[in-house]
Amino acid sequence: MKKMKLIITLILIVMTLSISTSVVYAADPIGNIMDNADNFLKKDQTIAIGDMKTFSDIIYIAFLSIGTVIAVIVGIVLGMQYMYSSVEDKAKTKEHLVVYFIGCAVLFGAFGIWKIVVQIFNSI
């Protein structure tokens, strides 16, 4: 057991060292910093409504797809557990099914609310 912990620790240390990058910050005179800040504030920083809608649609579809896949997999697992379990285990599985159905209602309700809010803001 100690060897396994040591091996995992060494692997994590090697991974951390290989992933980390060194960043060098160069000192910049105060005048350049202030000029860069003023130039940033002078730029027109507007976001197009079409870009926001596209981004919102991508996020919506991605999260809804991931949530649906997870919900289906968990539903299949709980259904199989319910079918093939003993009487005592069926009671435990029923408790998990209640939580599962509440989670599905929250998941799909949240995405429904999101879609309604986006459509309301698009019509304004």
Residue with tokens 């803001």: 121
pLDDT tier at 109, thresholds 50, 70, 90 = very high
Residue 84 has pLDDT above 70, yes or no: yes
pTM, entire model: 0.56
Q: Which pLDDT score is estimated for 25?
A: 57
Which residues touch 100 (CB under 8 Å, ≥6 apart)?
A: 71, 74, 75, 78
Greatest distance between any 2 Cα atoms in the chain = 76
- What CA–CA distance (Å, rounded) separates 50 from 55? 9
* CA-angle at 17, arms to 13 and 21, nearest 5°: 155
- Please write the tens of the pLDDT for every residue from 61-74: 899 899 999 999 99
Residue with tokens 């968990």: 74
- Please write the tens of the pLDDT for every residue from 38-49: 777 777 667 677
